[in-house]
Amino acid sequence: MVETDYYELLQVDRSADDKTIKSAYRRLAMECHPDRNGGCPDAEARFKAISQAYDCLKDPQKRAAYDRFGHAAFQNGGFGGGPAGGAQDFGSFADIFDNIFGEFMGGAQGRQRDVRRGSDLRYDLEIRLEDAFEGREVELSIDTTATCEPCGGSGAKPGTSARTCNTCGGHGQVRARQGFFVVEQTCPVCRGVGEMIADPCRSCRGEGRVEKRKTLTVNIPAGVDEGTRIRLAGEGEAGVRGGPAGDLYIFVHLARHAIFQRDGTTLFCRAPISFTTAALGGCIEVPGLDRAPNEVRIPAGIQSGKQLRLRGAGMPALNARGRGDMVIEIEVETPTRLSARQRELLEAFRETETGDECPNSRTFFQKLKDAITG
């Protein structure tokens, strides 16, 4: 019987390096596997042949012996019978997929039991705008689960230990064939843990975790805004049977402020001024969230709705330097309580009016008259 050269089977040169040989085997194994060829006998025979070739050439000692003696190196018990010593079980397509891509996908040799991570938690925190401006420490109390201390999270009674699940062999997964495909499913017996507990811990009843109310101190940085999310790694629910804990996510909400409204780092407010200040001009003082007085100069003749901007008097930027601006919208207030003297002065002022003092009013009424008369 003439035996085909291993290098020819894998379609590589005799000087090919390990990476080239491995790549060639991957490609040919995927092409020739019987599961992909409807159980074709020729494909099965070719698959076995390239598997034997790769089993030899991937081993430095076997390859050196093959390069020197050829197939004779594995006859008469050489290298324990070698790859040509008998039929091999090529297993399922999922098995060969594991062997080919094991280093990328955690193949059969590296597969471990499924450790269940704890759930993430959400906490909605409402703070004042002043707190968002200055930053502060907040103490939170949350209901969560923590690792069971008596059993150390194993779920087994102290002094005992869990045993490997017989159904999945400790993998936490079982395989099921569905036509051409082989799929993995969570083991229905151990529910993916890979272990069974014969004598569970009385404190946690085998879960490895217990309910607990936990108090945390959280640093709220200056500049946080509505919807800012703060992540506290490992402060969520404890994992099942020693699994890693989840995370705690704090969502920040800002309480409504009596004076200021916020848009990013910009603060908005409305400032009422007297009509005399609006007419003659002057100064007003608007304190910021830092309680520092901000002097605002009012130009003469200002109208309601006019916005004045104070640079650097707004909110601090989150995790950055500098502050935004404060925008002040002017609202001219008409007096409703006048003394006799004030009324007398206003009457005297009205008698001197020519209409040029308020050009917008004069223009409006002239346009209205023209529209009516055509």
Written as one string, the DSSP assignment of 128-173 is -HHHHHH-EEEEEEEEEEEE-TTTTTS-BPTT---EE-TTTTTSSE
Q: Is 40 annotated as a binding residue?
A: no
Which residues lie across from 212 on neighbouring strands? Answer: 144
Q: 273 to each of 267, 297, 299, 305, 308, how far by Cα in Å?
A: 19, 12, 12, 12, 13
Cα gap 296→284, rounded to integer Å: 5
DSSP bridge partners of 182: 177
Amino acid at 320: A
Q: Is 269 annotated as a binding residue?
A: no
Query: Has 165 been labeled as part of a binding site?
Result: yes
Give the three-class secondary structure for 287: strand
Asked whether residue 187 is marked as a ligand-binding residue, the answer is yes
Token pair listed for 302: 């200002």
Is 148 annotated as contributing to ligand binding? Answer: yes
Determine the Cα–Cα distance for residues 209 and 152; give it in Å rounded to an integer: 9
Answer yes or no: is 151 a known binding residue: yes
Please give the full DSSP string across 68-89, using - where no structure is assigned. Answer: HHGGGGGSTTGGGG-TTSS---
Check: CB of residue 96 under 8 Å from CB of residue 50. no
Report whether 358 belongs to an annotated binding site: no
Question: Would you say 32 is a known binding-site residue?
Answer: no
Q: Which of 87, 89, 66 is nearest to 78 (CA)?
A: 66
DSSP code at position 312: T
**What does DSSP assign to residue 120?**
P
Identify residue 90 by its one-letter amino acid code.
Answer: F
- Write down how long the chain is: 374
Question: Using an 8 Å Cβ cutoff, are 245 and 118 in contact?
Answer: yes
Give me 201's structure tokens. Answer: 């811990």
Binding residues for Zn(2+): 148, 151, 165, 168, 187, 190, 201, 204
Binding residues: 148, 151, 165, 168, 187, 190, 201, 204
